[in-house]
A = this chain, B = another copy of it.
Amino acid sequence: MTDAIVQPRLMRGLRDYLPEQMQARQWIIDTIRRVYELYAYVPLGTPAMEYLDVLTGTAGESSDKELFVVQGPDEERLGLRFDQTVSLARVVAQYPDLPRPFRRYQVQPVWRCDNPYEKRGRFREFIQFDIDAVGVESALADLEMITAMCDTMSALHTGPYRVRVSSRRVLTLLLKYARIPEARAADVFRVLDKLDKLGHEKVRLELTAGYKDESGSPVPGLGLGGEQVDRIDTFLAACGTADRQRAGEGVQRRDAALARIAELFREVDGAEAELAALAGLSRQLAALGYGDDRVVFDFSIARGLAYYTGTVFETELCELPEFGSVCSGGRYDDLVARFLGEKVPAVGTSVGVDRMLVALLELGRAPLRKATAQVLVTTLDDALTDDYLAMTYELRRAGVRTEMYHGMFKRFGKQVQYGDRYEIPILVVCGSDEKARGVVQLKDMAIGRQLAAEKKLADKSQWRAARPGQFDVPRGELVAAVRKLLAEIGA
């Protein structure tokens, strides 16, 4: 052990989850897991490190650049996973006996060596909660992704949200409609994807002649012609993108939007079948109760990751429109083929757990709890240690989450302060006097805090009378009395 003090610190973009945040994070994970298990997805775990050749070249150049590289013991070239989808594709190829469809959930950290933006929940390590259905070409799997995203948002009490559904296939039809060569697809989609961030004006400029940003740096344009861009504009107006809805155009009627696009695309080969399929999806969503208020078509969305091939989705919280998507995914029919040779259709979606936590905290919608303890057994008298131990284990064995105070500051005031800082609802107190009388004292710590919070309460003594802050119970009735009090205060 060295003698010099080591500075306790983390690299930028990494963060600790102290107990209060960690309990909220755990609640998010437990809640999503419950939803996904109702959907009957099965869990999968994969290691953080993959061979570099497994990771690179799957999700586009920017993902490759964002890899954290790890040194293996025998000169292996390894990296930390940047998502869980690539590992899933590897697993499907590596274990050919896995039954298909393989519908799995996975909740693990991923790492991206990019520029963190912590206020918007962008970290260099963050937990993703994914579901994917592999070996499924049916659009019913896409439908299921959308409803699972909705059910997740509802279970997390996010407040109003909007799942925005797009399709790379519709975007390809758009290229035909706007007479843009398919070779330019990636460039055009990349620029369209910025609509949320930059707005119509700048996107139009970037599609055509380019512009200078605030710092004066030139943003090169794609050099599309006026008529091409007009057609893109007409299309975006017809589908009613989310930014227009936010700007006051009101909720999209999905059917009407599809009808307007069908009208525009009536000359475009293949449009009819594609739009009919989306109309079917919309109808099924409505029949299951997923209305226009929470699922919309928004074909400005292309999603950055290179592996998507069909439907893509994003989810925005209506109360945090600038925050970006908290739950995204899409169809990727070619990813498994990289490892298997054989094409295996697949669709999936991913909740950014840590982004979600930042969002819920910002909205005041995350459940915050400092302690896990329901009861703190205080220790007033060393001679009574055996009694404190007996009470503590009795309560635990009765299913009550109980801490016995083991701290180094023995004064009773310090112990109460400790219980208060953790907001532990009940204190058990027993000195030699109580011991002699065969009782223990219960202190209802919630009352004082509640009184402070509810200043409107006119007659404090009245409250106190109804539920006294502290009272004695016979030692033999400790567990029953604690249970009763916990039920009363809902802790």
Chain A interface residues (CB < 8 Å from chain B): 1-2, 5-11, 14-19, 21-23, 25-26, 37-51, 53-54, 57-58, 68-73, 76, 78, 80, 90-91, 93-95, 98-101, 103-104, 109, 111, 113, 124-125, 133, 135-138, 140-141, 143-144, 147, 284, 287-289, 306-307, 334, 338-341, 345, 370-375, 385-386, 389-390, 393, 396, 399-404, 406-408, 418, 421-422
A22 touches B1 (CB 8 A): no
Cα–Cα, bound, A485→B213 (Å): 65
A406 touches B45 (CB 8 A): no
Cα–Cα, bound, A289→B400 (Å): 18
Closest CB of chain B to A130's CB: distance in Å?
A: 13
Whether A125 contacts B307 in the complex (CB less than 8 A), given A70-B70, A135-B408, A403-B39, comes out as no
Closest A-B pairs by Cβ, 7 of them: A17-B45, A40-B373, A19-B42, A40-B403, A8-B94, A14-B47, A8-B93
Whether A45 contacts B25 in the complex (CB less than 8 A), given A101-B407, A133-B406, comes out as yes
A340 touches B39 (CB 8 A): no
Provide the residues of chain B in CB contact with A9, threshold 8 Å. 51, 54, 94
Cα–Cα, bound, A59→B104 (Å): 38
Cα–Cα, bound, A21→B56 (Å): 28
A407 touches B338 (CB 8 A): no
Whether A372 contacts B16 in the complex (CB less than 8 A), given A140-B385, A339-B6, comes out as no
A401 touches B99 (CB 8 A): no
Whether A6 contacts B54 in the complex (CB less than 8 A), given A71-B68, A137-B408, comes out as yes
Cα–Cα, bound, A10→B79 (Å): 12
Residue of B nearest to A87 (CB): B16
CB within 8 A of A140: which of B25, B374, B406? B406
Residue of B nearest to A55 (CB): B6
Provide the residues of chain B in CB contact with A70, threshold 8 Å. 68-71, 80
Closest CB of chain B to A272's CB: distance in Å?
A: 20
Whether A41 contacts B372 in the complex (CB less than 8 A), given A16-B46, A338-B1, comes out as yes
CB within 8 A of A11: which of B37, B72, B374? B72
CB within 8 A of A16: which of B10, B22, B91, B408? B91
Cα–Cα, bound, A287→B387 (Å): 10
Best-buried of A45, A50, A390, A396 by chain B (most CB within 10 Å): A45
A390 touches B288 (CB 8 A): yes
Residue of B nearest to A335 (CB): B1
Closest CB of chain B to A377's CB: distance in Å?
A: 10
B17 touches A393 (CB 8 A): no
A341 touches B5 (CB 8 A): yes
Closest CB of chain B to A369's CB: distance in Å?
A: 9
Provide the residues of chain B in CB contact with A47, threshold 8 Å. 10, 14-16, 109, 124-125
A5-B339, A6-B53, A39-B396 given; 13 more Cβ-contact pairs under 8 Å: A8-B91, A9-B54, A17-B46, A19-B44, A22-B42, A26-B43, A37-B401, A39-B401, A40-B402, A42-B372, A47-B125, A103-B406, A135-B408
Residue of B nearest to A400 (CB): B38
Cα–Cα, bound, A341→B76 (Å): 39
Closest CB of chain B to A84's CB: distance in Å?
A: 12
Closest CB of chain B to A196's CB: distance in Å?
A: 26
Whether A57 contacts B1 in the complex (CB less than 8 A), given A10-B47, A42-B23, A408-B135, comes out as yes
B43 touches A23 (CB 8 A): yes
Cα–Cα, bound, A404→B136 (Å): 12
CB within 8 A of A57: which of B2, B25, B143, B373? B2
Cα–Cα, bound, A374→B80 (Å): 35
B10 touches A50 (CB 8 A): yes
A136 touches B25 (CB 8 A): no
Closest CB of chain B to A68's CB: distance in Å?
A: 5
B11 touches A390 (CB 8 A): no
Provide the residues of chain B in CB contact with A418, threshold 8 Å. 99
A340 touches B49 (CB 8 A): no
Could you list some 16 contacts between A and B, CB below 8 A?
A1-B307, A8-B91, A9-B51, A11-B51, A17-B46, A22-B44, A23-B42, A40-B374, A40-B401, A40-B402, A47-B124, A47-B125, A138-B408, A287-B386, A287-B390, A289-B393
Residue of B nearest to A33 (CB): B26
Cα–Cα, bound, A50→B22 (Å): 19
